[in-house]
Amino acid sequence: MIEVKNVTKSFGDLTVLHDISAVFESGKTNLIIGQSGSGKTVLMKSVIGIHQVDEGQILYDGRDLAKMTKKEVGILRREVGMLFQGSALFDSMTVEQNVRFPLEMFSDKSKQEWDDRVAFCLNRVGLSHAAKLYPAEISGGMQKRAAIARAIVLQPKYLFCDEPNSGLDPKTSLTIDQLIHEITAEFDITTIVNTHDMNSVMEIGDKVIFIHKGYKGWEGDKDSIFESGNQDLEDLVFASNLYKKVKKYHNLK
Amino acid sequence: MNFFEHVGKYSRLMAGVFTKPQRWGVLWKQYLKEIEKQGLQSILLTIIISIFIGSAITMQMVLNTENPMLPKYVTGLTTRETLLLEFSSTILCLILAGKVGSNIASEIGTMRITEQIDALKIMGVNAENYLILPKILGFVTIIPVLVIFSMFFGLLGGYIIALTGVLSPSQYVMGIQYAFNPYYVTYSVIKSLFFAFIISSVSSYYGYYAYGGALEVGKASTNAVVNSSIIILLFNVILTDLLLV
């Protein structure tokens, strides 16, 4: 579980996050949603520790990120998996080498155990057949799946996903969403997904935190969005014609 | 960005580079890869340019030493001194700054803009040490080999010209052996070690701090080559003063 308590973050004179508090629960897919420029990426980067917050606390299972020593941060990093918007696979390595890399850097287990773990992760994301291919040789969806395999290879307690569906078609997006959701529940990971894809919100939003102009606008789950009563959230979620019709249908029911 | 900001950022980067590796085995693997990529893949280029430059220098020396007062072996001697003292270290490294430097800057720059460096950092990897240290160690290790190759093939180029009848091959061979000072080879190798460090570290610096898109990677690559070359020429003067004068 990750707790964010009264976090404020500014860049120069511009305050990007205002007194944000939230609880990201383990075994659940926690979504941070908001318009572009709302501060959701800054919130995620603050939680990861890329940005230092000006005020407030970030607690990883009770451990205060700001009070951790360099060594403790190093240990925490090994408990964190990250899925980047552009996958961020290492170009010079095959899919298998990408997945193996964190093990080579941090695991003291035997090579046989590494092989088994890599094979398991690739199998879990359905990429066993592409193990020997380079990132440039596989599709965007496969790259995302390879990045998920790399992110979970060290059995992380926390998984961060930055716009995981960016650049993917709806069907592949759904596959990636479901994979993230399944893995989160299966391995009891605290997953935080930064997205503005409303299909993802409706598909995997166990918990949704809506950030609007740097403030927390709303918090709930995917099913309670319809009754949120928050105009800013509704403007975002039901912006497309499709979702306007979905809402209309829901209201009729 | 002003000069002192660059120096500060470069120093901070180098402080991160020269730390204890997280895994010695991984460093060794990367180090061997870099030797192959930067060194072995530069051998052919080194041989080709050295033969051509050695040939050109020899022809120029023939023209410039036509005075009957000068012994014939002077052509070989001056060719040797030019190659040993300046070409095989400084000029070769300026050329390699173009090949190796741009390669390093664009590789690291691309990793930066595609978030691969962020991925390393979030995993807990010391990205500076993991990416840059093997490049510096690899190039510094392989550069003496390239310099020695350059000297040999440069002199061979001169010999090939001698075989065409422009001057007597025996006089040329006598010239390249006459009053030979082995320290000049040492001097050249020492210079090249500094230059290899400059090329690999400065290029890594520009790549590491690239941001934006493909255009910025191109700019980083250009900056890496230009600035490495200027620093090499500056250090050439300083090192010559310290080691030779």
**B178 vs B61: CA distance, rounded Å:** 16
What's the order of all strands across the beta sheet hosting A63-64? A14-24, A2-11, A55-60, A63-64
Indicate the pairing of strand A2-11 with strand A14-24. antiparallel
Phi-psi sector, A6: left (phi>0), alpha (psi -120 to 50), beta: left
Q: Do A84 and B118 touch (CB under 8 A)?
A: yes
Q: Output the pLDDT for position B94.
A: 96
Q: In this structure, what token pair is assigned to residue A78?
A: 């090994």
Compute the C-alpha angle A38/A41/A42, nearest 5°.
Answer: 85
* Percent helix, strand and coil across chain B, each to the nearest 5: 85, 0, 15
Compute the C-alpha angle A183/A184/A190, nearest 5°.
Answer: 150
Contacts of A91 in chain B (CB under 8 A): 110-111, 114, 116
Give, in order, the Cα–Cα distances in Å from A5 to each of A68, A89, B204.
16, 33, 39
Q: Do A105 and B23 touch (CB under 8 A)?
A: yes
Q: Which residues of A touch B (CB under 8 A)?
A: 48, 50, 74, 76-78, 80, 82, 84-86, 88-91, 102, 104-106, 160
Contacts of B118 in chain A (CB under 8 A): 50, 84, 88
Given a cut of 80, is residue A242 above it in pLDDT?
A: no
Q: Nearest CB to B123: which of A50, A89, A105?
A: A105
Q: Output the pLDDT for position A196.
A: 81
Q: What is the pLDDT of residues B114-126, one digit of tens each?
A: 989 999 998 889 9
Indicate the pairing of strand A80-83 with strand A29-33. unpaired
pTM, entire model: 0.87
Q: Do B22 and A105 touch (CB under 8 A)?
A: yes
Chain A: give the shortest CA distance to residue B113, in Å. Answer: 9
Is B116 in the A-facing interface, judged by CB distances under 8 Å? yes
Q: Where are the domains of chain A?
A: 2-252
Taking CA–CA distances from A154, the nearest residue in chain B reads B123
Contacts of B123 in chain A (CB under 8 A): 77-78, 80, 82, 102, 105-106
Chain B: give the shortest CA distance to residue A6, in Å. Answer: 24
Q: In this structure, what token pair is assigned to residue B53?
A: 């430059």
Given a cut of 70, is residue B1 above it in pLDDT?
A: no
Contacts of A41 in chain B (CB under 8 A): none
User: SS3 of A226, please?
Assistant: helix
Taking CA–CA distances from A78, the nearest residue in chain B reads B123
Does the predicted interface ipTM exceed a cut of 0.95?
Answer: no
Using alpha carbons, select from A57, A88, A94, A200 the residue that is nearest to residue B127.
Answer: A88
Given a cut of 70, is residue A201 above it in pLDDT?
A: yes
Using alpha carbons, select from B119, B151, B140, B177 the residue that is nearest to residue B53.
Answer: B151
C-alpha Rg value of chain B to the nearest Å: 21
Just give the CATH number of A2-252. 3.40.50.300
Place of tokens 């000072």: B181
Q: What is the pLDDT of residues A14-66, one digit of tens each?
A: 999 999 999 999 999 999 998 888 888 889 989 998 888 999 999 999 999 99
Residue environment code for A155-193, b if the CB has 16+ CB neighbours within 10 A, otherwise e = ebbbbbbbbbbbebeeebbbbbbebbbebbeebebbbbb
Q: Nearest CB to A84: which of B22, B26, B119?
A: B119
Q: What is the pLDDT of residues B101-151, one digit of tens each?
A: 999 999 999 999 998 999 999 888 999 999 999 999 999 999 999 999 999
Binning pLDDT at 50, 70 and 90, where does residue A252 land? low
Taking CA–CA distances from B114, the nearest residue in chain A reads A88
Give, in order, the Cα–Cα distances in Å from B42 to each of A56, A113, B96, B138, B147.
54, 38, 8, 13, 11
B83 and B113 Cβ atoms separated by less than 8 Å: no
What does the DSSP 8-state code read for residue A18? E
Q: Where are the domains of chain B?
A: 43-243
